[in-house]
């Protein structure tokens, strides 16, 4: 019986993966380093590595890498403040499911970017808690983000399910002992999601999957 839902943020609740790619691409262009969508997918959304791996291989100093991160962060923040990153149907689903499940967001986003995003969406009222990069040492695909979410939920791992969009997110959830629903986005739709509980086409299908799993009554789910 599922009592808690753990939602990835970027690519699942908001369409921001392409903005992060563009911000990273633009920042790297300042150093004359190209970045393709294919490289971004492999490095960020499958292996769960950061762009510093590219810069380290090119002998950039720690100080130069830190400057790059600051520049990329500023570009990304500006994009998040201006671009439309909404995904149709997300709020309708959250509004319904928050009545019957304890819900958390489990994201690798920096706190500053997360706050910009959800100041615009207003989604946080549907969630009981949030796990961001400040809450753990090891990012996805390491299981620590989801192990942290399980602990916060107060439930057993068998009573929780994760909703992801990437291989690194699926790996993190699976390594934490969770079943994982995957909703691919434009970057990840060609990836191998072996081990996913279900691979869906649209967020609205999450409710059908949960109905199959016999969702608990409100009084049980909300501790």
Tell me, yes or no, whether 49 and 133 share the same domain: no
Tell me, yes or no, whether 199 and 168 share the same domain: yes
Q: Give per-residue pLDDT as tens, 12-28.
A: 999 999 999 999 999 99
pLDDT of residue 105: 98
Tell me, yes or no, whether 8 and 114 share the same domain: yes
pLDDT of residue 150: 98
Distant-in-sequence contacts of 110-119, Cβ < 8 A, 24+ apart: 110/73, 112/73, 112/77, 113/73, 113/76, 113/77, 113/80, 114/9, 116/77, 116/80, 116/81, 117/9, 117/14, 117/16, 117/80, 117/85
Which stretches does DSSP call E strand in the chain? 4-7, 102-106, 129-131, 160-164, 179-182, 198-199
pLDDT of residue 49: 80
CATH of the domain at 204: 3.40.50.1000
Q: How many domains, the chain?
A: 2
Tell me, yes or no, whether 58 and 164 share the same domain: no
pLDDT band at 177; cut points 50, 70, 90? very high
Q: Which of 29, 54, 82 is the last residue of a domain?
A: 82
pLDDT band at 48; cut points 50, 70, 90? confident
Q: Give per-residue pLDDT as tens, 138-173.
A: 999 999 999 999 999 999 999 999 999 999 999 999
Average pLDDT, the chain: 92
Answer yes or no: are the C-beta atoms of 45 and 171 closer than 8 Å.
Answer: no
For the chain, percent of residues with pLDDT exceeding 70: 96
The domain containing residue 49 runs over which residues?
Answer: 17-82
Q: Is the pTM of this model over 0.85?
A: yes
Q: Which of 43, 58, 82 is the last residue of a domain?
A: 82
């Amino acid at each position: 019986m599922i009592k808690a839902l753990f939602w990835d943020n970027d690519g699942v609740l908001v369409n921001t993966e392409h903005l992060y790619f563009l911000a990273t691409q633009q920042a790297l262009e300042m150093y004359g380093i190209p970045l393709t969508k294919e490289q971004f997918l492999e490095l960020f959304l499958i292996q769960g590595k950061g762009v510093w791996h590219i810069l380290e291989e090119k002998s950039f100093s720690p100080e130069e890498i830190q400057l790059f991160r600051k520049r990329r962060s500023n570009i990304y923040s500006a994009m998040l403040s201006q671009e439309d990153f909404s995904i149709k149907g997300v709020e309708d689903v959250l509004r319904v499911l928050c009545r019957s499940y304890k819900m958390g967001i489990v994201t690798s986003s920096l706190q500053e970017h997360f706050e910009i995003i959800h100041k615009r969406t207003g989604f946080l009222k549907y969630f009981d808690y949030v796990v961001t990069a400040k809450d753990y040492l090891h990012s996805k695909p390491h299981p620590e983000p989801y192990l942290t979410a399980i602990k916060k939920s107060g439930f057993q791992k068998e009573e929780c399910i994760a909703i992801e969009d990437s291989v690194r997110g699926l790996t993190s959830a699976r390594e934490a002992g969770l079943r994982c629903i995957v909703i691919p986005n434009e970057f990840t739709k060609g990836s191998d999601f072996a081990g996913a509980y279900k691979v869906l086409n649209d967020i609205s299908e999450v409710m059908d999957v949960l109905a199959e799993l016999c969702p608990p009554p409100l009084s049980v789910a909300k501790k």
